[in-house]
Structure 1
């Protein structure tokens, strides 16, 4: 398929999209494009993306901040089906903090990696789960469910406060274990399991 050659400005936007997606695994927002390329107006960036789509270089979905796919006419690999997963705010890996339930962003994730259940994302605040590989600033992928098995890592609500910990329950108490020796377990009689941690997204600085 013939593609119309790009002018230097559009070529710069396309190269940034490719590098960003290669580095992070998901596309940038329009504001991130503007910041990286010193574009003063989001309208200018939108025009560039519209041209790239019209010329067959990308595919984007309206009303989704991060729904941009690079189209490669030479690739023999099948296109992955993606699902949009909402980022709902922050959750603590430390002392519980008030849960934030507003949708901050939407990330496309490969459907074949998360084949069942309703998913949501939470940004981790704190270092109580570092021995489980969950670091401050990571984004955890959570499958919504209300029950958990002993030893599983869950997002959990305690008296309206949210935290991520390893879950244990006996006949009397629920014990939420950190993965950092600096923190003590949280022992409660009641807690609401929000979901099971099934994945993680991390930006390398």
Structure 2
């Protein structure tokens, strides 16, 4: 981190002169001595300092500590055929149990419990999945919650041919072909799996 702090300060200079430690400190809310201690590795920026540094240089975001976010736990989502989805969209948030989950980037997350074995290579029956509602862009080989006609399922997306594919040890599960199936929407991408909460 010391090198990134120094390089950032030097890059902010003008007319061939580096920005002084005093002026850089004013930008991020610390003294010249504080900047000097950061650059020598004697001290490190606080989380508040890091948020200021990120405004100047986004690369500092990697140094932010991982925060736990309390996510709502809905009931079930089918990992088999499309099935009723009122629990995915219509539950009352204030009535739901919440579980802290760390290591998530910015997003709109919630937790579902898996029902069925069509995705059991990554999420066995009764396991829990973290879904990011803010990530709906389909990427082949990634896992999502899909909805169609008021029903939902947890599946892997494949592009050629377009289909929702099981990822299971059970060979009886068939993919859901998307050609000719209108009105399929993406609720969000599955980003984490927990066997138990």
* Matched residue, 1:160: 150
Alignment partner of 2:72 out of 86, 91, 107: 86
Q: Deviations over 1:146-172 (max 9, x none)?
A: 3211111111112111100011235xx
Cα deviations by residue, 1:9-56 (Å, 9 ceiling, x for unpaired) = xxxxxxxxxxxxxxxxxxxxxxxxxxxxxxxxxxxxxxxxxxxxxxxx
Secondary structure of the corresponding residue to residue 148 of structure 1: coil
Partner Cα separation in structure 2 for residue 197 and residue 148 of structure 1 = 11
TM-score (norm 2): 0.56
- Which digits, 9 at most, give the CA deviation of each residue in 1:93-114, with x for residues without a partner? 111111113143211111xx10
What is the match of residue 135 of structure 1? Answer: 124
Distance across 2 between alignment mates of 1:158 and 1:151 = 20
Q: Report deviation, 1:130.
A: 1.2
Structure 2 alignment gaps of length 5 or more:
1-64
- Please report the TM-score for the alignment, with normalisation by the length of structure 1: 0.54
C-alpha distance in structure 1 between counterparts of 2:67 and 2:111, whole Å? 19
The structure with more strand, counted as a fraction of residues: 1
SS in 1 for 2:125: coil
After TM superposition, which residue ranges in structure 1, 4 or more long, deviate above 4 angstroms? none
Cα separation, 1, equivalents of 2:159 and 2:66: 38
Matches within 5 A, 1:1-205: 81-99=67-85, 100=87, 101=89, 102=91, 103=93, 104-110=96-102, 113-131=103-121, 133-144=122-133, 145-169=135-159, 174-180=162-168, 181-188=171-178, 189-190=181-182, 191-203=184-196
Q: Paired residues, what number?
A: 121
* Distance in structure 2 (CA, Å) of the matches to 1:201 and 1:153: 15
* 3-state secondary structure, aligned to 1:130: coil
Structure 1 segments unaligned to the other structure (5+ residues): 1-78
Partner of 1:3: none
Distance in 2 (alpha carbons) for counterparts of 1:203 and 1:119: 17
Q: RMSD of aligned C-alpha atoms? A: 2.0
Residues in 2 aligned to 1:187 and 1:154: alpha-carbon distance in whole angstroms: 15
